[in-house]
Structure 1
Amino acid sequence: MDVSGQIQLFTWSEVTHAWSKLWSQPRGVCDFYAYCGPNGACDDHSSSSCNCLNGFEPRSPREWESKVWSAGCMRRTPLRCGDGDGFMLMKKMRLPAPSHSLPDSSLQLKDCKATCRSDCSCTAYASVNENGTGCHLWHKELTGLQENNSSGQDIYVRLADFELDDGSKRRLWIIAPVIIPSMLLVFGSIICYFWRRVLVRRRTELRHKAKRETRVAESLLDLGINMSTINKSLQGGKDSYDFQVFNFATISAATGYFSVTNKLGEGGFGPVYKAWELWTNGRGSELIDPTLNDLSPIGEITRCIHMGLLCVQESAKDRPTMSNVAALLSNETATLPTPKRPAFSLGKNSSITIPGSCSVNLMTISVMEAR
């Protein structure tokens, strides 16, 4: 017998002048009883020889790393009995001696499972016969298991429900504390990014709006209109008025000395009667210069066109005053009224008739016409 406890039989050879081993028992480490300790499974085909069953861990990790496996393994999760436990199938296992056997051939695997489940001390079950009948039951720790045994059979080991499904639930509980904070961080970063974009865009719009209002105020000041007067007018103050008189120099400077590029229209076939046909046909956006698309929102430009049509309505009482124009343009929430037909048209339905002769002495005179 050697230091490992193996019994060996040797014979002397006269030819080789050496001892030759004829027989030994046990032949492999897995033949030693309880070589891997309780709840450990021996495997002659594995370099580590011993492995803990699924759902178990080394009782002494330091000894296990030193390949001293006699202490065996213990459960990672205690059994709760009842509905909190399940059974894990292990195939081709050399089984340890059972605590109790029921060789009744009428018992099926489902009966073995029900019997073991109803007994909180039952740790495993297996069939007695090869045809799956009868029951082997274990009520203590499993000692003497061997994996990958050619003559082995199936055994069902009791585990906490948490340890079933190949440990996927346990891995989920381990990974979840890492994944969830990471996902929250990612989503939080995305929300923060888009929120900052919204704030930057809003601030940019406010800056553009402030610049436009400043330009309007400066233009009105050049024309002799004070914004404070307009505000008082809208609030019904003492400075309220309906008409403003400008001198010739102010109007000349504002229109670029009556430049053609600044005119509002010149009759039925002019730009105004055009800004009307397109507007009534729902094609007002065609009036917008393409170069303005990148400078201001389409809604603001359309609002300006709307205001322009209000200013050239046929009846003067329908036209807004300059103070109202400035106030409505600076208030984006104010609702603009629907514009009426422009003041002058030479279309088929023209309401203006030019007399054949306006002079009794056949002399040339000027005819007053609306623009």
Structure 2
Amino acid sequence: MKRFASFCFFSCNIVSLLFIFSTALDTISKDSPIKDGHTIVSAGGNFELGFFSPGNSKNRYIGIWYKNLPKGKEVVWVANRVNPLNDTSGILTISSKGIALLNSTRDVIWSSNSSTHLRNPVAQLLDSGNLVLKDGSGVNLKDYAWQSFDYPGNTLLPGMKIGRNLATGLYWTLSSWKSSDDPSPGRYVDRLDTSGYPQIFLWEGPVIKYSSGIWNGRFFAGGPNLKPNPYYTFEFVNNNKEIYYKYDLITSLPTRVVLNPAGLIQRFLWIGRNQNWFLYSTGQMDNCDRYALCGQFARCDINDSPSCDCLRGFQPKYQQEWDAADWSSGCVRRTPLECGTSDRFMKYSSVKLPDTRHSWFDKSIGLEECQMLCLKNCSCTAYSNLDVRDGGSGCLLWFNELVDIREYAELMQDLYVRMAASEVGSGQMGKTRKAIIATVSIISATVLGFLSWSAMRRKKRERGEREGKDDMEFPLFDLMTISAATNNFSSDNIIGKGGFGPVYRGKLLSGPEIAVKKLSKHSRQGLEELKNEVVLISKLQHRNLVRLLGCCLEGEERMLIYEYMPNNSLDFFVFDEIRRGQLLWEDRFRIAKGIARGLLYLHQDSRLRIIHRDLKTSNILLDSKLNPKISDFGLARIIGGDQHESRTKRVIGTYGYMSPEYAVDGKFSVKSDVFSLGVLLLEIVSGRKNRMFCHPDHHHNLIGHAWLLWNGGKALELIDECLNESFVESQVLRCVHVALLCVQKLTVDRPPVASVVFMLSHEEVALPQPKEPGFFIERSTAETDDSNEKRCINYNDLTLTILIPR
């Protein structure tokens, strides 16, 4: 009996110890770090966390994988994706600052970076696969200081989100592995876009490969195979705090969504009968799922051959390319819109709605009011319901081009595309009506044109000295007001000088400070450049463009009045030995991205497509918060939406910023501005002028010096010495990398400015290797001596004109 009692006592203690031990198997605390070779397992045994080497790699990573599935380690999350360990000495520890991974020298190579200070920090692996950091003082505490679900890798597990937290700014995105041997971020990113009505895009670098389409109340329009099923539920939440998609399990059947290294979004289910993962669905089902395969104003039907076809009332933009199965340039209208209530709408049923980045929506109004709103806006090209449930509700308007439309028989959603009334008519009646409208339009245009011409001639004769004001249609200031504001154009008020003449600081009696650009009588820029700037900038509104308040055209005086920029221009700081230290790296990087965004607006997002042609540091002004604003549009040119480049016999610009094709052949395009932007990025990083740069070991300019350093793996040597205490290495390297892509010799190699903005803003995106830059030719010693440098400094501040003979 005593032996039995002793045995029971011993057994109970063993069980108690095992219970205590088992409850700690899913946690990491200060006293129980994880070493390589050891793991923790979630309480229900679903997931395991520990060190692993993917595929054939010898590198070591901290990851989470399914515990009891015999088909090898299906890793669903990796902590140190970009910083692997090269040996088995790693330790995963916990401190009051969060979770940290240490190498053999006890240096931190990855951490959770929790902003919450915890007294008794504990990391726990939940049965959902979520690694959470919390205060261990509580019981079942769900107030997490950090969680791995907020930082997805290539796998979306049940309960994870894809989207954005609007309150914190946190993005939940998927990013592919580079390969099965390398879990570092690969070429593909699945990310929510909130410009216009939200949708999810799959990106390959700066290029969109696939779009989910909008959430129509039931599922994503670009994924009709996402239907109610017995395995999982799904939802899309869109409120003022969060926008996200997620799914949850109905059964205990394991399922996961993976973005693989080839860029495919795949959903897998675990089949217990054959002990294997079953491919349940793929995001990209066929060729029509390729983003914008058919270009603008066209639709894709996988059951047709060819798959692409123009919408009714449209025709191929380039028929020869279309016949060769290159549909990327899309379609254009046969008949221009009349821009009024006489326009009609063509209904397209069962289609995936177009890209909504340039859209507007209102959930509270119906389809009829939606149509009226579209008719009142000349830029509106289509409308639709937002939600297909209960007969449809909400209003969604599109502006400009319609892209990425495809046929889907499963979709019960209609798209109404705006068309000229004559295109909706049919038969001889339609042709007759079209002819009548055309005849009346021609006669009306002729009469109105004659009357307008006569009125303009009469006004010019009456106003005489005020010639030019009628063309500008912009606020006019009288000379007395501007003279009083600038203290009679006192030399003490001069804040800058360029090829046009001096710039004065002034203060209007009504209060605001102004900057007055006064055209010099001896200026190489004349009235045409000044009028060009007024016409252009008066039509532009962007936070990274300087705001033009008005002009003064009185007597022989020609002046432009701008908002005053208290921090002068960018070159005022970066090229000055004393002031350069005032611009920390954080400021410079933000300025670089702001310049790129402003240029993107000019090239793509504004009502006009504008090439600046004189982008340089002195034309980047800084406001009181050091926000950059592009200025000086005197040399800018408007080009058509379908125009890729133009040519001029009068090459105007600034040496050191001109692209090779512009300086030599007079050819300019949006890629000319991209070249100038690349030079600006290098100057921002280095604090040195491109053309004035000299080095004891060679006679290259700044571009050539950056190229040499890059090829030698020494790009960080380019950085301005005053930034040694503030720079972020990854951002500097990315800035130099992007700059070298921008200054490549051939225009076709340079990225569009949209790609530049994307590359600067997303460090996880892999960048292509740059090719040799333009002007990679050493200068002679005579061109780089001290005397010449003084001469160059004078020229570099001026806008130059080169006349090229016919």
Bin for the TM-score computed over the shorter chain:
0.3 to 0.5
**Structure (1/2) with the larger strand percentage:** 2
TM-score calculated relative to the size of structure 1: 0.39
Larger radius of gyration: 1
TM-score calculated relative to the size of structure 2: 0.19
